[in-house]
Amino acid sequence: MAETQQGTHNKRAIVTGGTRGIGRAIVKELASGSYRGVLFSDIAFIYNSCDECAEELKNEINFPNVKIHSFKSDAASFEQTQATVNEILKKLGGVDILINNAGITKDNLLLRMTEKDFDDVIATNLKSVFNCTKAVVKSMVSQRYGRIINISSVVGLIGNAGQSNYSASKAGIIGFTKSMARELASRGITVNAVAPGFIQTDMTSKLNEEQINKLVQNVPMSRLGKPEDVAKVVAFLCSNDADYITGQVIAVDGGMTM
């Protein structure tokens, strides 16, 4: 088993939203193969902005046996995602792991939230998970192996004032994850969600010091998390050590939602 796609070697992964923050840390963590020698032959990341960041990430990763591919595509668009994922499947000869990470925020209290703010966040955060999963699932079913990891959020579990669109999208991901886990378990495919707490990325850099101090008061570990904290859990879920885990939501939140 060790030398097959199902074993610990030569895995092929797609990561959405790979250029920054948590997605970037996931690409780097998987490429390093540091989780108990789970080695990747190819990692394709999808991003929708910042070509320089994509190039920079590809240049930054320097492990001889892993090829990093970048694809500019809007994960919220069904048509673009089908075309992009088909191109990736052709290039890589299939895919073993899908990490649905792309996400945005457009925060506002409901009274001030526009229909567009709501629709954009649902399309990028939730519909993208449907788009990408639908595009890879046939290939995973035919090889009877796959790992799908969806990046949700603690606010999908507990809600957050000013984030009704974002919380709904992240709670939706959890429902989608559990339904997919039930549909795909008999085909050798596991589907899990990771729910990060507040992690230091561009997404949270919009918060001011006062907001961060207030947030940290609810975190038993009294600090924000790092993108690498999330990436390491994703790497574990990609490994054979996680073979019997499906339909779960793993919070990486410094104890916030215990």
Q: Is 244 a catalytic residue?
A: no
Site residues for ligand NAD, window 122-141 (CB under 6 A)? Answer: 124-125
Subset of residues 6 to 25 that bind ligand NAD, contact rule: CB under 6 A: 16-23
Length of the chain: 258
In angstroms, the CA 256 to CA 258 distance is 6
Which residues within the stretch 59-88 sit at the binding site for ligand NAD (CB under 6 A)?
A: 74-76
The yes or no reply on residue 47 touching ligand NAD (CB under 6 A) is: yes
Q: Which of 41, 108, 204, 257 binds ligand NAD (CB under 6 A)?
A: 204
Alpha helices in the chain (DSSP H): 21-32, 51-60, 78-92, 115-122, 128-143, 155-158, 164-184, 209-216, 227-238
Tell me if 103 contacts ligand NAD by CB under 6 A: yes
Which residue matches tokens 């600090």? 223
Query: Any contact of residue 199 with ligand NAD (CB under 6 A)?
Result: yes
Question: Catalytic pick from 35, 47, 145, 166?
Answer: 166
CB of 182 to ligand NAD, least distance (A): 23
Query: Which among 84, 169, 87 is positioned nearest to 126, based on CA atoms?
Result: 169
- Binding ligand NAD by CB under 6 A: which of 40, 71, 176, 198? 198
Would strands 67-72 and 40-47 be described as parallel, antiparallel, or unpaired?
A: parallel
The Cβ-side half-sphere exposure at 190, using a 13 Å CA radius, reads 20
The catalytic residues are: 166
Binding site for ligand NAD (CB under 6 A): 16-23, 46-49, 74-76, 101-104, 124-125, 151, 153, 196, 198-199, 201-204
